[in-house]
Amino acid sequence: MLYEVVFLALGVIVIALVKNVYNKRRSEQLLAHILTHTFLDGDNSRKRYLSDLKTLLESGYQEYQKNEQAFKITIPVGGYSVKYRVILPKSHLEEIKHLSNNVFSCRYFAQSLPQYKGHAATINLMEFFVPTITSLTNALLVDSRLSSDPEWLQQTADFAVNRYGAADDVRQWPPCLAGLIAPFIPSVKRLREQRTYVMQKMKPIYDELKGQSLLSTDDKKNRRKGTFGYEWLWSGAPDDVTLQDFSDTMMRTLIAAIHTTAKTISVAFIDVLTQPEFLAELTREAREAVEDDGQSINLDKLLKLDCFLKESQRLSPVFLFTMNRILTQDYEFKCSGLKLPKETMITAPAAAIATDPEIFREPNTFDGHRYMRLREEHKESASSLVLGMSTIDSLGFGLGNQACPGRFLAVNNLKLMMAKLMISWELTLEKNGQEFQGPRPSMEYKDFSVVPPSQFSIRLKKL
């Protein structure tokens, strides 16, 4: 009997190990569609990557920038799901910063909000913003076929919730068994079904783009410019990019985009609606930013809103820590002598830095003019004090090579949605169905992520 148990246990462990190796190989394939840039002299040792990354980035930039192509470089990291860093061409960043306002002919604004003068409605923050942002992100990154399909929108809104739930469920098991048990966990099964669903839905789009050589690196002259966010995700994809890569990348990007943006705007609305003086000031600014066509909003003019949102993010960031990384070798910090072993997961205390009194005066007070003043006081570095810029003191979007690649899109979405709502509707805050005029509440966190309080909603009256 004892032999049988030992034999069984060994079998389980061997299977888990094999599966682990298989999973690592598989994750390598996920970025196979983006060209890998390596050292020109052929020395691609781990040591070289660690010591000479600057040269690699510079030569990659020169080689790919002229073709406006993304490229990837290897991160010499074992035991971590991200094996590469993808470097976007400069030209793409500008485009994302200046995305068209037309995307705001968004169905959800028209369908869910009162459209006739004097009519009013109440919306729950997350219940409204998750589907709105899902619809908007799909319109930008996918295309009209899917972004107008209610089932697709529902599924994409569910991914993020289910993905985090599945990760929590898997983490309940010891690492060596987790891979083996995972396929039987209901939330994981559901995630896998969703993955298959996404692949089925993406197939016609993939086939169409591939049929027209629009996913090919060799046929750039045919490439459709600026039609979809595909350009952002897929420029540089080789001809052999698989449907699985194509749909997985889309799924992962949607997961990263939707709830983060919805949480940020929900918190920002609680901040602005509990401080009427700011609501008046920001509404004035938004009205002055409306272009001559009466529809579009000049985002560059929403400076006060940018500063307000940055303060809101400082005090209630979506994530309490960002820049989660895993050490690839034993490490001794030169600044302190702190020694950490290989495979330690390290992270930056983003929220704690944001309330450090040595960095921010009266750090726990919400001061919607704080960043306006800081910009005035530090004119030479004012551009680093805008919402989309990551610095050591401002880590809401992470920092460095893995800082959030969607932050410019997120910033524009946040500003456009807030401006549109403030311009066209009279807004008040409700708590448990009653008008709320109390002070700004402090936000709750579940694990490391903010939970916008569900008892708050917005009352909107069409102007």
Residue set of the binding site: 404
Enter the DSSP assignment of 222.
G
Under the criterion CB under 6 A, does residue 323 sit at the interface with ligand HEM?
Answer: yes
Using DSSP, state whether 275 is helix, strand or coil.
coil
- Upper half-sphere CA count for residue 71 (Cβ side, 13 Å): 19
Size, binding site for ligand HEM by CB under 6 A: 25
At its nearest, how many Å lie between ligand HEM and the CB of residue 318?
A: 4
Amino acid letter for position 223 = R
Stretch that binds ligand HEM, among 5-13, 43-51, 142-150, 314-322 (CB under 6 A): 314-322
Applying CB under 6 A, among 324, 328, 424, 449 the residue interacting with ligand HEM is 324
Enter the DSSP assignment of 224.
P
As beta bridge partners, residue 456 has 431
Comparing CB distances to ligand HEM, the nearer of 245 and 428 is: 245
Closest by alpha carbon to 322, among 298, 354, 290, 297?
354
At its nearest, how many Å lie between ligand HEM and the CB of residue 228?
A: 13
Comparing CB distances to ligand HEM, the nearer of 198 and 318 is: 318
Strands 322-326 and 71-74: unpaired
Q: How far apart are CA 45 and CA 148, in angstroms?
A: 48
The two structure tokens encoding residue 321: 């820590």
Comparing CB distances to ligand HEM, the nearer of 131 and 396 is: 396
Comparing CB distances to ligand HEM, the nearer of 142 and 428 is: 142
Comparing CB distances to ligand HEM, the nearer of 69 and 312 is: 312
**How far is residue 55 from each of residues 35, 37, 49, 215, measured CA to CA in Å?**
17, 11, 9, 29
Under the criterion CB under 6 A, does residue 215 sit at the interface with ligand HEM?
Answer: no
**How far is residue 60 from each of residues 18, 237, 292, measured CA to CA in Å?**
35, 16, 42
Compose the 64-103 pattern: x for residues touching ligand HEM by CB under 6 A, - for all others.
------------------x---------------------
Q: How far apart are CA 130 and CA 122, in angstroms?
A: 16
Strands 345-348 and 425-431: unpaired
Under the criterion CB under 6 A, does residue 260 sit at the interface with ligand HEM?
Answer: yes
At its nearest, how many Å lie between ligand HEM and the CB of residue 191?
A: 17
Stretch that binds ligand HEM, among 70-78, 106-114, 315-323, 331-339 (CB under 6 A): 315-323
Known binding residues for heme are: 404
- Residues 37/72, Cβ–Cβ less than 8 Å: yes
Comparing CB distances to ligand HEM, the nearer of 217 and 261 is: 261
Using CB under 6 A, which residues numbered 384 to 423 contact ligand HEM? 396-400, 402-407, 409-410
Contacts with ligand HEM, residue ranges (CB under 6 A): 82, 253, 256-257, 260-261, 264, 318-319, 322-324, 396-400, 402-407, 409-410
